[in-house]
Amino acid sequence: MIQIDFADARPIYKQLIEEIKMLMVTNEVKNGDRLPSVRDLANQLEVNPNTIQRAYRELEHAGFIQTVPGKGSFASGRKEVVKARKKELVKELEKVIEHLWICEVSDEEIMEIVNKMSERKHK
């Protein structure tokens, strides 16, 4: 279910964090679901267990999962994830648009891109 890309510039643990958040946002991992154990995931992805542990640790720190020693890690609070993610994305969107303006791309052109994407989606 989770895939990492060794060619990606981002470190593996950050890729993991993003992937797991994504699974929660898309509801593929629901509230209370148990995540794979550190060892299993490490074996499956051929990655150092420390790397998995670091991803889980940061996810727990951010409140997205809960780790119960001896039992495993459990997903928590989809709503919060979505809300936080949305905030991040809106910020990113604003940044991208500002940079597009600098490249002499008009609002109309931006709108057009959004519209085209929307049409493609609804087909």
Candidate segments 49-57, 82-90, 93-101, 108-116, binder of DNA by CB under 7 A: 49-57
Identify the CA nearest to 56 among candidates 85, 76, 84: 76
Binding stretches for its own copies (CB under 8 A): 6-7, 11, 22, 25-26, 61, 66, 68-71, 82, 85-86, 89-90, 92-94, 96-105, 107, 110-111, 113-115, 117-118, 121
| Residue 32 makes contact with DNA by CB under 7 A | no
* Minimum distance from residue 116 beta carbon to its own copies (Å): 10
Query: 31 contacts which partner out of its own copies, DNA, none, CB within 5 to 8 A by kind?
Result: none
5 contact partners, CB below 8 Å, separation of at least 6: 15
Give pairs for 42-48: CB < 8 Å, separation 24+. Answer: 45/2, 45/4, 47/4, 47/12
Binding mask 51-70 for DNA (x = CB under 7 A): x-xx-xx---------xxxx
Q: Please, which residue, 49 or 100, has the CB nearer to DNA? A: 49
Q: How far apart are CA 59 and CA 33, in angstroms?
A: 14
Q: Which of 64, 78, 69, 76 is nearest to 25 (CA)?
A: 78
C-alpha 99, offset from chain centre: 24
Binding positions for DNA, rule: CB under 7 A: 11-14, 35, 37-40, 47-51, 53-54, 56-57, 67-73
